Amino acid sequence: MPSLAVEIPAVDSYPLGAHAWYPESLPARGVVLIHPATAVPERLYFAFAQYVAQRGLIAVTYSYRGIDGSRPSRLRGFRASMRDWADLDVEGVTRWAFKCYPSLPIYAVGHSFGGHAIGLCESSNRLVAAVQIASHAGAMRVVGNRRERLRVTLMMHWLAPILVRLAGYMPGSKLGIGEDLPAGVLREWSKWTRLPNYFFDDPTLDAEARFARVRTPILSMGFDDDLWATSMGLDILVSRLRNAPVTRRAISAKRSDAGSIGHMGYFRQRSGAFLWPETVDWLLSAGAASAMHPATESSGREATISAWQSAPIPVATTSFPAAPP
């Protein structure tokens, strides 16, 4: 699928490196914004974006400020936080999409923090529908087992803060644990992991009220071999979407053809044939329901969820472009 390198302005005009992936046949059926996880390079989402384009939709991939294609020349001293990612970057990408594609339905797929941002952003209610992939309340207490909890605690609460003080940023790439992170992002993330209900317990963010205002239909997908986004962590997050129609999908990795899935595996090529068709089918179903009920937004969303639950979609078999293994 052809792609175009673009620069998307955040709310404060910070330039975000991005790609738009177009279907071979136009007009497109809609636009899917792919909001990334923390410390994950944009390229992880390329194969999924190309599959979305194969299905006749425009896909948009990008990086948050301070990460990958949106990284400044010098990360030490660069000011950014996780709430900046949501309030400025994800919000900016969403506004940009509505400005550039005013006649098309706009959807979103958020991975981990990208799913958090869907709940936090004001413009999320303009979306036709959204999917949260492994999006959970990242409190340390919900990490899957004692060994992983100890490992993550040592990293987030001890080693990472020391490295940030020494380097002026989190040098994740040197440790083989993802992209480098701005210091402010790591500090805010570390703070939230100590709270029982993650950022919902941070009064400066007002996340409870933000999530409660969301009325967009949401599909929340979790995987039983994900030690970070456990069912408890997903429950904490989804329960705050009290005014949105939410569909939950608990995927068993052992029963899938993808083998292990974990926190990152959904977007890898080996998961594509098993997981991606369901996601895009659900989004298109939501779009069809929205088009049928343009005057009554809430009833259209309820119809979307009802129709999806009563009519499971068969898994398609197809080939996919190259992606990280």
pLDDT at residue 294, as a whole number:
62
Q: Lowest-pLDDT range, 134-138, 238-242, 303-307?
A: 303-307
Domains and CATH numbers, the chain: 3-138+204-310 (3.40.50.1820)
- What is the arithmetic mean of pLDDT over 89-106? 98
pTM assigned to the model: 0.89
Kindly give the residue spans of alpha helices, DSSP state H, lying in 194-316. Answer: 207-212, 231-239, 272-292, 297-310
Residue-wise pLDDT tens digits, 59-71: 999 999 999 999 9
- Per DSSP, 248 falls in state E
Token pair for residue 172?
């994740």
Give residue 290's pLDDT.
Answer: 82
- Decide if 276 contacts 131 (C-beta within 8 A): no
Question: Position 174: which residue type?
Answer: K
Q: How far is CA 151 from the centre of its chain?
A: 24
Contact call for residues 46 and 321 (beta carbons, < 8 A): yes
Helix (H, G, I), strand (E, B) or coil at 319: coil
Pairing of strands 3-9, 15-21: antiparallel
Nearest-5° Cα angle at 56, 54 to 61? 70
User: Looking at residues 82-88, what average pLDDT do you find?
Assistant: 99
Q: Are 86 and 11 in contact (CB under 8 A)?
A: no
